[in-house]
Each structure stands twice: as C-alpha cells, then as structure tokens.
Structure 1
Amino acid sequence: MEIEPEREPNLARTIVVAPEEDQQRLDSFLVSHFSKHSRVRLQRAIAKGDVLVDGKKAKSSTKLKPGQSVVCEPIEAPTEGPIPEDIPLDLIFEDEHMIAINKPPLMVVHPAKGHWSGTLTAALAFHFKSLSSIGGPTRPGIVHRLDRDTSGVILVAKTDQAHAALGKQFQDRTVEKEYHAIVTPAPDRDRDVIDKPIGNHPYQREKKAIRENHSSSRAAVSMYEVLERLNGFALVAVKPKTGRTHQIRVHMAHVGCPVACDRLYSGRARLTGNDLNRDGDETVLLDRQALHARKIGFDHPVSGERMLLESKFPADMTRLWEAIKTRKMD
C-alpha cells in the first residue's frame, strides 16, 4: 500500500493497515506513520482513547491485521520548549545568576526523541521564571550535561551573561570536575593518568572507543585515584581534564576496570544480591552505571569568586557499596 504523505500533526487521520504491517503493534504502527511524534506521546494518545481500531479502543500492544481501520484523533504536537512539569529538584546552590542541582539518576537533561517528558529542563521550566536562552528553546539554562544514567551536580544559568561566562570556563578547561565511580575489578594502581584519545566506535554507533590516529579521535585525559578497595570492587575518584563523550566510562574500561552496571562498557546492566553472593536474592542493588558527578569547581560567572560545590552520594550507589561490604568472597 502506498503511504500517503504525513499531514499536519494536529489533524486526525484514518489509516488502513497494509498486508506488510500484519501483526505489528499498534504503537509501532503509529510511530511509522507519525514520525514527528515520540512513541511515548503516541502511547499516551492510545491510553486516552484517542486512537481507535475498527471503531474500538485498543492497547499499545494490540497486534494489527491487514484491512483494519486505525483512526487517530488530533495529537498535541511537541512544543519548541519543554513543557513545565512539577518535578522536585535537589538544589545545591542558587542566586540571581545561576543554579546548581544534584541531578538524580535516570533523568534526561533535555527533551529528545523518546524523552519528551520528565526531563531536567521540564522541571526547571516549572520552578524558575527566567533561564538563559543561549542553549536554544529546548535547552533553557543548560550549560553542560550529564548522561541520563549519571547522577550528580550540574550547573544551570539564569541569565545569558552567566551562561556565556560559565560556557567559556568549560571551553577553556578551567572547570574542575570530580566524579566518583564504583568499578570492578579494582585497579592494581592506587592512582594513574589515562591519556588515550577517544573516537567513534568502529561498528557500534552508540559507543565510543580508544582510537589512535582516526578522523573522529580527540585527545582525552583522565586522572583517577582509588579511595577504597573492597571485595573485588573499588570506589574511585576520577578527574577528567577533557570532556569527551563517555570519557570516564571508556577510560576505566580501557584499563580493565569498567564502571559497575555500565550497559555499554561492562557487559552488565544491573547488579543483584545474588550476583554478589549467589544466595538467590534477586533484589536489584543498582540498575544504572555507578557514576556520580561528585564535585565541581569554577569561578562564579559574575563575582569571579572561586566556588567548589559538592553533591551528596546517591542512595542507589550507597546501597550497592553497603552490599559489597558484606559480600562473601570465596
């Protein structure tokens, strides 16, 4: 069946299921016909009853059959900026120029495909009337970012002046960052400098890799220090001198001590009680990479005063570390 061009996203559509779309889930079917909308947004429309299959309400998981008629009522189009959401924020510092926030794990910083809601920018839009505009309408106030699974301190600018001043410090590498990570196995050395260029992974698009003399390679330097070794794990402090994507995760994996629960670089996405002690306890201890932006040092964007801000250690990494303390080693 020839698919008609996508109409404006605020107009209803009736689509007949084609033979090649047999047994396709309803939400997947809609994603293929409404590319401007995220799967989450379309699933919400289905749950609200705005999508009918042969005149009846259906579920996102409904398997379609050729010839069925799918009617989709008008769907609210994504706005340019984040939609304010009443999401609690853990403030570390605030004045009239900037904010520092302890970002929780599993929170995306700004809207992106598949993550239109629940973002840090949505929470900021709700709690603060004025944020800098330098980052554009979808990233108000955002000076730098942390991965979704990385927790810790992140700086937000209220004014364009503050944003420009903070951004220059990141560019000039005068911002001092310290991350704490739980890695396994523990490093042999107490401290070391990892000076290895990072570039695109040769065949996995979502990953980065150590790449020498490649067009995508950029210099990357990380210094780490072991804070404590314990039962096959270590708590390490890592100070990246550069800011490459996935830098700490790639560098620690390169020296054979990947960050625990790092889906991309450790091969294990979570740890349970059973993983530690083989006692049948399937309680999940951690289900995201054990990486936390602990400290950040910078000059205040207006006063110039040197500042050092610290975020509290997250509960899930604390839970894992406490479990490691009681681990029974063979």
Structure 2
Amino acid sequence: MPRDCVIDQALTVPPSRRPRASGAGRLPVGFDVSSGLGSPAMTPIESDPLRSRLRPLAESAPARTDRESAEAEDDAPLVSIKLTGRPRPRLAEEPIEFVVKSKLEGRRLDTYLTSRFPDYSRSVIQKVIDANAVMVNGKPARASQKVREGDFVSLRLPELWDGTIPAQDIPLTVIYEDQWLSIIDKPAGMVTHPGKGNWSGTVVNALQHRYDTLSQLAGSTRPGVVHRLDRDTTGLLIVARDDTIHGKLAQLFETRTIEKEYLAICSGIPERDRDWIDQPLGPHPTVREKMAIRGEADGGRPARTFYEVVERFDRFALVRCQPLTGRTHQIRVHLTHVGLPILADKLYSGRDRITRGDLLGWQARGDDHDHVLLTRQALHAHRLKFLHPATGEPLEIRSPLPPDMAETLETLRQRPAASSTNPTRFSITRRL
C-alpha cells in the first residue's frame, strides 16, 4: 500500500457554480489554498513542515473514552457503555419476585424497575413490560402504572450481555490497510460499535471477523475504534490494530494535528463563500436525541467549524467542512445554525427523504418526479490527513462521494446556477 494513498471521485465544478477565488490573505488565519474537489481545499499551514507540527509521540497516550474525549468524531463521542439487554433478549426462566417498599411507591413502574435494576435501560424494561413479562399483583402490568406499597411484583428479565462480540462476515470497504491501522469507508445505516439495541451488524462485528487482533483501549465493546461516525454519516473511519498505535492516534486527535474534512449537501443560500462558526454545543433542552447551541451556563462546550462553499446551486450548496473540535452532531447543528441545514437530516431539518421532484420541481416528470435520492443526511467524511503514527510518513486518504450523494449532486446541477457572494465578506460567527 503506498504511503500517500489518495482515493477520490472526480468532482468537476462548472465555472459558473464555483465561488470566486480569493487570495490566501482572505482566508482565515492558518489556512492555505491548494487543489482538490474543483475548488480550494482547506489545509492548515504553519511555517514548519507537517512533521514538526506534531508533538513527540514516543510515548503512547491512553485513549480517553468520556464525553470530554477530543478523539471523538463530530457525530458522536466515545462514551462508556453500560451493559444492557439485547434488542430482542432471551428472558430468564426463573422470575424475580419482591414486594414494593413504602419509600418507593408512587413512581411509574418502568422508572421504578430501571432504578431497581440499573444494568437494564428503560427501553429494555419497557420491552419486557410490553412482552407481558412483568406481573403486579398477579396481573400483566403497564409501563405507566404507579407502584404502591405492598404491590407484589414478579418479572423475568433478559439475560445480560455475556461480554463477547460476535464476529460477523459483513463486507467492509477497506481503503487503506497495514500492520498497524486500517481506514475503512463506512456505509450509511451502519452503527460503528455495539451498544443499546445494536449488538450485531456493526462495524466492530465486521472487524472482529476480518482481524485477529485489534486495540482494546476503547473498551471491550469497541475494539479498534479510535473515533466514530453517526449511523447515517458515511465515510472514513480509522481502526487501530494495537494499543500503542491507538494511543498515538488518540494523541493526534487530542492535539488536533489530524485533518478531517467532510462534504455536505445543504439547502439554503450561503451568505459567504467561507466562514468560521464558533458556537458552543450542548444537549437540547427538550429533545433528548438532539444537540443545540447552548451557552456555557447551560452545559454548552466550545465548538468550532470552518466551512467553505464548493459549488452553488439555486437555493442549495455543496459545502466542505473542517471541524476543529469533535462535538456530537457538530457539523449538523452548526450548518443548521447558519441557515444551511443538511438535506434529509430528519433530526435537524425535519425531512428524512429527498426526491428528484423536491429538487427539480416541474422539470422532473412522471415516475422521475418521485425518484428517491436521499433517505439519510447528506454528510460524508471525505478526507483524512495525518502522519502515520508508526512510520512518521504523511498519509492522506480520500473517499469518493457515496452513490446517493453523487446522484443528488448531479440532479442539482440540472438547476440554474447561483451567483457567488462577495468572498471578502468573511467574518467569524461568534457566540451569541
């Protein structure tokens, strides 16, 4: 495998759709212009060569796995996973029986059982109740009913996970591979590692089948996993083959000396050709699955993303993003914040399906009008660039756009071209 491995998809951008070029002096401090994807690529620069920008890596650094971990990818940080039941668990043969004490009465049954049996998530407890495996005073229970002092509860819980991850012969697209690490091209709809409700069919299940040894630094449910991508985000994912290499890769993420570049197809009209988004992110106040712009007092953590318009269309754009931090859903939330929600991102745009008719209107006729282009967010981890942690050689990997995004892009090119904004209108989007 060549030291500098580049796999890319031709993405010729017509001149009428390109943002007008600007001198390097108009880029944010620390960025230069180089070739790539039909418009300037974003490459952090300093006076020293790439090698001298890295901290010494003689000693391996243990991977961090909490929410503070800088090695975590934008779409989701690596977190400790509490053991829970399988999505379709086998119930134990012998029931557990007990009487409710007075100090615990008045709570919902599902909440009460979750607190009493912390190894099981609330969703698993609810599935057990729905399966009529929980009886209160001899009658099938409901999740919402309140428990009372003296209630006699009998239930059969699922067998807990036994600590093993099954190896599964799942096809993987491996773009780069050597004795120390691999880089795969993750498809849409595939979870990175096992967790609640996803104990099979994950990237890790496939890795267990392909490799005899993987790093164990991230925990028993995440062998080899250095960072992760959201289920429906496609693209490049680094896999560590041993603990020493994992530690060094983690240090690259923590020192932000690994370049990560994403491509997103967005709706909206970009006000600027390139810009910083500097907005802290934290859990959404009412929707558990979402993140939101949040001040530090409300649990927000610093988050920075640089974005650049690659190609403009009428009310749509292809945008390249380089996150400098790795917060959950960072790119998705930041782009939505500046009026550029990613296509088919149900969580943040409200739409989970895009058809040719949605993009072309009357130009799409008959069956072509209802042809589905996207059923997941149009976000792709396109490029990684870093020094190989074992050899010290530069390594740059690119992944072509997946078919659904490529087809969407070709469809958008049938729309009228949009004019570029003045590239001198660069400013930093600061915290509110």
Shorter chain as denominator, the TM-score bin is 0.7 to 0.9
Distance 1:173 1:284, change over 3 A: same
Deviation at 1:104, TM superposition (A): 0.6
Deviation at 1:13, TM superposition (A): 5.8
2:414 is matched with which residue?
A: 326
Q: Read off the aligned partner of 1:173 and give its amino acid letter.
A: R
1:302 is matched with which residue?
A: 390
Deviation at 1:299, TM superposition (A): 1.7
Distance 1:131 1:145 in 2: 15
2:92 is matched with which residue?
A: 11
Distance 2:121 2:299 in 1: 30
Contact 1:99–1:158, Cα closer than 8 Å, also in 2: yes
Distance 1:74 1:215, change over 3 A: closer
Superposition pairs of residues 85-124 of structure 1, within 5 angstroms: 85-124=168-207
Distance 1:96 1:267, change over 3 A: same
Matched residue of 1:258: which SS?
Answer: coil
Superposition pairs of residues 1-330 of structure 1, within 5 angstroms: 11-12=92-93, 35=120, 78-276=161-359, 277=361, 279=365, 281-327=369-415
Matched residue of 2:397: which SS?
Answer: strand
Deviation at 1:223, TM superposition (A): 0.8
Deviation at 1:186, TM superposition (A): 3.1
1:61 is matched with which residue?
A: none
Distance 1:158 1:219 in 2: 31
Q: State the TM-score, normalized to the length of structure 1.
A: 0.77
Deviation at 1:323, TM superposition (A): 2.0
Distance 1:99 1:116 in 2: 22
Contact 2:95–2:157, Cα closer than 8 Å, also in 1: no
Distance 1:273 1:301, change over 3 A: same
Q: Read off the aligned partner of 2:393 and give its amino acid letter.
A: E
Distance 1:252 1:186, change over 3 A: same
Matched residue of 2:232: which SS?
Answer: coil
Deviations 1:44-79 (A, max 9, x none): xxxxxxx999xxxxxxxxxxxx77xxxx99977533
Distance 1:183 1:162, change over 3 A: same
Q: Read off the aligned partner of 1:297 and give its amino acid letter.
A: K
Matched residue of 1:265: which SS?
Answer: helix
Matched residue of 1:224: which SS?
Answer: strand
Deviation at 1:97, TM superposition (A): 0.5
Q: Read off the aligned partner of 1:118 and give its amino acid letter.
A: G
Distance 1:304 1:182 in 2: 34
Deviation at 1:283, TM superposition (A): 2.3
Aligned residues: 285
Larger relative CO (CA 8 A, sep 6+): 1 or 2?
2
Deviation at 1:172, TM superposition (A): 1.2
Q: State the TM-score, normalized to the length of structure 2.
A: 0.60
Contact 1:37–1:78, Cα closer than 8 Å, also in 2: no
Q: Which has the larger radius of gyration?
A: 2
Mean CA deviation greater in 147-156 or 299-308: 299-308
Distance 1:241 1:308 in 2: 18
Deviation at 1:158, TM superposition (A): 0.2
Deviation at 1:36, TM superposition (A): 7.3
Contact 1:231–1:325, Cα closer than 8 Å, also in 2: no
Deviation at 1:10, TM superposition (A): 6.3
Deviation at 1:82, TM superposition (A): 2.1
Distance 1:9 1:106 in 2: 25
Contact 1:132–1:160, Cα closer than 8 Å, also in 2: yes
Distance 2:163 2:404 in 1: 34
Matched residue of 1:101: which SS?
Answer: strand
CA RMSD in angstroms, aligned pairs only: 3.3
Deviations 1:99-134 (A, max 9, x none): 000011111000111211110000000111100010
How many percent of aligned residue pairs carry the same amino acid? 46
Q: Read off the aligned partner of 2:326 and give its amino acid letter.
A: G
